[in-house]
Amino acid sequence: MSWNETVKALSVCSDKILDKIDDVGLTEVFLDSLLEKALKDPSLLEDLTTLPLRLYEPLIQEASKHNVSVENLVSSVYNYAKRYVFEKDSGDESVSRNKRQVLEAVERLLPHQRGAISCGFLFKSLKESMFLDASSECRKGFEDRISKQLDMATSKDLMILLPNKVGGGAYDTNLLKTILKSFYSNYNVSDVSRFVSVARMLEEFLLDAAASGDGLSIETFKAFGEITVAASCDVLRYSDGIYRAVDVFLERHRDDLTKTEKMEACRVLDCKKLSPEACEHASKNEKLPLRIVVQVFFFAQKQIQDKVAREMESVEEKDDDDDIEDMNKKLLRLDIESDYSEKREIENLECVVHCVKEKKEERKISVWREVKRKFGCMTSLTVDACNCHIKKRKKTYHHY
């Protein structure tokens, strides 16, 4: 049988027929046939959404043991979950039970590798696991996968509502704390860029939560604000995102909050970590309590003083550098002058030595000339013409 024929035949089988197929041992035969074809073309696994769960799960498990690519497996599981879990719930108990069974199977089939599954799919599955009251193992499995790649998530992924208050605006703060705790406890990479990504994402999430139309309570906003502050305090230089979230929250609840509640909402602000631009905006923000504005003015003034002090230190260091450069130039000039004087002295000495040598040579020549004169080697013509060693006095022969 072909792939399509086999899948179609198994898809229309009821549970009773599947039980009989199991009894006669044909289930393994059909699954082996599908597996053999899937190993030759793994993309076929994405076309199994019509199979019953009791056949789909063992087939995917066997495929994962035969080194089928993670992309093909995840794509197949995603399509299956999209059809049986994420479709609109009719409210029927049997349908919810079937969804819960499929979702728990999906969690078992998904790989644990970081980045293998999109964060959006994981958060959506986690939300459904809470809504369907899935097993604790199922929920923890999704939480663990999320914590491994939390830095890849977006602020929208964190907008998880409590399952029993879907229509309201109550966010599950405890769930977020659990995920963050798992992320930080399992983080063993020296690179802090992931910490920075999570801190910025939480600031964006706090802003989105404040701007949402779900009527976020002051208690929930404060809880999320404290979580965001804890994540960004030692990672980000400025926490302007938290200030923007507070500003938006106060704007949306301008007529609902008392002075005490406004002050409670502003407790998540750390004026020391506001940028100069944020300080300038906050100093003119009429929505902020007066006490917060005074704190902003104080730290803004301190920032200006620190900036002036740094600039003065920079100027002094520059002056010191200029003085050092002038001294180096003077020393270099002295070295050059010293080398020049030393060179002149050497030249003078060489000149004196040369003169002494010339005098010695002249003296040698005069002495040698005197010796030759004494020995009768001198002629009246020239000194150089004398060859006393070859000239001899001629013998005189007398004739008798």
Q: Which two tokens stand for residue 67?
A: 């080194």
- pLDDT grade, residue 350 (50/70/90)? low
More confident position, 339 or 69: 69
pTM for the complete prediction? 0.72
Virtual CA dihedral for 228, 234, 237, 239, nearest 10 degrees?
20
**Residue 304: predicted pLDDT:** 81
List alpha helices for the chain, DSSP H.
Answer: 3-11, 15-23, 26-40, 53-65, 70-84, 93-109, 119-131, 136-148, 173-185, 193-211, 218-232, 240-252, 259-265, 276-283, 290-374
For residues 68 and 88, give the distance between their C-alpha atoms in angstroms, rounded to a whole number: 31
Measured at the alpha carbon of residue 64, what is the angle toward residues 179 and 60, in degrees to the nearest 5? 90
**Residue 366: predicted pLDDT:** 52
pLDDT by residue (tens digit) across 340-349? 565 565 555 5
**Residue 160: predicted pLDDT:** 74
For residues 100 and 128, give the distance between their C-alpha atoms in angstroms, rounded to a whole number: 9
Average pLDDT, the chain: 81
Average pLDDT over residues 361-370: 50
pLDDT by residue (tens digit) across 222-273? 999 999 999 988 888 899 999 999 999 999 998 889 999 999 999 999 988 9
Q: Which two tokens stand for residue 344?
A: 């002149």
Residue 83 pLDDT > 60: yes
The closest of 226, 214, 126, 212 to 170, measured between CA atoms, is: 214
- pLDDT grade, residue 185 (50/70/90)? confident
Contact between 182 and 147 (Cβ < 8 Å): yes
pLDDT by residue (tens digit) across 15-45? 889 889 888 888 889 899 999 999 999 999 9
- pLDDT grade, residue 191 (50/70/90)? confident
Q: Which residues fall within 8 angstroms of residue 138, CB to CB, at 6 or more apart?
A: 103, 104, 107, 129
**Residue 5: predicted pLDDT:** 86
